[in-house]
């Protein structure tokens, strides 16, 4: 499976806008998230958000849109203290305590019309991994590991996603590829997604994961996503204190090496 997912050079204009969903309370990471939002949790003294911003800057991104909620002033303060080449735009989700990420994504529909990169605020990853994601209509995936849970996908021989299994509906035994929660979308794909998001929100399905929308559109053949392989040793999703400790062990050698060269 891994051999068939080798990343190929990107084609077309690269994605230059990023959307970061960072509204949640990070309840599973408490007590750390009592004082700061999850995105400012530090991995070996480097906030997750700092690592993500460095990565975006390295790959020539020009704009970052953030959907904020829990302790949003901390994120605004972070960017006031930090100079960046990125244009920063904010969206406040006033219902972050009672809605899921589908609602935060829906809130970005008016502010983003161009191709963009979607990422979650709890993903710590090595910068080089992002390069192939600059091609629109891509989804980052990884081989399943014991620590991984949540949405999985199946891909065909051309690395196109043919099905997505969301949350409890995932089928680890059948589909060995885990979503990394990093996507890039073309303007056309985003229009299809926003139309379906509207339907879900109007129906009151504000507690869903946005992957429910993606899975529907993939199953119906309305959108097509190219899979991009992420080495499981070079990224980590941080939801709990145990996840944070594991991430610090994984990234400590590379971060020490980087600091020694500075």
Rounded to two decimals, what is the model's pTM? 0.90
61 compared with 148, residue with greater pLDDT: 61
pLDDT tens for residues 73-121?
Answer: 999 999 999 999 999 999 999 999 999 999 999 999 999 999 999 999 9
Give the integer Cα–Cα distance in Å for 29 and 193: 30
Q: What is the band of 123 on the pLDDT scale with cuts at 50, 70, 90?
A: very high
Scan for tokens 């970052």, then name that residue.
64
Strand partners, 92: 68
User: Per-residue pLDDT averaged across 34-58, rounded?
Assistant: 96
Choice between 21 and 1, residue whose per-residue pLDDT is larger:
21
Cis peptide before 237 (omega within 30 of 0): no
Q: Given this model, what pLDDT does residue 165 score? A: 93
**Per-residue pLDDT band at 254 (split at 50, 70, 90):** confident
Residue-level pLDDT at 2: 37
Name the band, by pLDDT with cuts 50, 70 and 90, for residue 56. Answer: very high
Banded model confidence at residue 5, pLDDT cuts 50, 70, 90: very low
Would you say residue 145 has pLDDT above 50?
Answer: yes
The fraction of the chain above a pLDDT of 70, given in percent, is 89
Query: Which residue has better confidence, 256 or 153?
Result: 153
| 8 A C-beta contact, residue 93 and residue 107 | yes
The model's pLDDT over 155-182, given as tens digits with 9 standing for 90+, comes to 999 999 999 999 755 555 555 799 999 9
CA separation for the pair 10, 57 (Å, rounded): 18
Is it the case that residue 9 has pLDDT exceeding 50? no
Q: Is the pLDDT of residue 60 over 70?
A: yes
Per-residue model confidence (pLDDT) at position 229: 97
Q: What is the band of 150 on the pLDDT scale with cuts at 50, 70, 90?
A: confident
The whole-number pLDDT of residue 218 equals: 97
Tell me the fold of 14-261.
Spore Coat Polysaccharide Biosynthesis Protein SpsA; Chain A (3.90.550)
pLDDT for 208-239, tens place per residue?
Answer: 999 999 999 999 999 999 999 999 999 999 99
DSSP readout, 179-204? EEEEEEE-HHHHHHHHHHHHHHHHTT
Residue percentage of the chain with pLDDT more than 90: 84
Separation between Cα atoms, residue 16 and residue 117, nearest integer Å: 8
pLDDT band at 13 (very low <50, low <70, confident <90, very high): confident
Structure confidence at residue 146 as a pLDDT band (50, 70, 90): confident
Q: What is the C-alpha to C-alpha distance for residues 152 and 170, in angstroms, rounded to an integer?
A: 6
């Amino acid at each position: 499976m891994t051999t068939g997912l080798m990343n190929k050079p990107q084609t077309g204009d690269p994605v230059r806008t990023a959307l970061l969903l960072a509204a949640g309370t990070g309840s599973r990471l408490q007590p750390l998230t009592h004082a700061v939002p999850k995105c400012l949790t530090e991995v070996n003294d480097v906030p997750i958000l700092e690592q993500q911003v460095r990565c975006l800057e390295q790959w020539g991104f020009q704009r970052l849109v953030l959907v904020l909620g829990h302790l949003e002033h901390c994120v605004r303060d972070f960017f006031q203290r930090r100079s960046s080449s990125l244009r920063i735009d904010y969206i406040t989700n006033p219902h972050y305590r009672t809605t899921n990420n589908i609602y935060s994504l829906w809130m970005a529909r008016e502010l983003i019309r161009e191709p963009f990169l979607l990422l979650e605020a709890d993903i710590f990853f090595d910068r080089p991994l992002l390069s192939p994601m600059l091609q629109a209509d891509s989804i980052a995936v990884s081989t399943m590991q014991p620590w991984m849970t949540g949405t999985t996908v199946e891909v065909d021989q051309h690395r196109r996603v043919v099905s997505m299994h969301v949350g409890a509906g995932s089928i680890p035994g059948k589909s060995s590829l885990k979503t990394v929660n990093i996507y890039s979308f073309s303007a056309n794909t985003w229009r299809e997604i926003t139309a379906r998001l509207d339907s879900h929100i109007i129906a009151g399905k504000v507690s869903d994961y946005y992957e429910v929308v993606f899975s529907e559109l993939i199953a119906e053949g309305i959108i097509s996503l190219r899979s991009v392989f992420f080495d499981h040793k070079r990224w980590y999703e941080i939801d709990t204190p145990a996840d944070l400790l594991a991430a610090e062990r994984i990234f400590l050698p590379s971060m020490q090496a980087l600091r020694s060269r500075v």
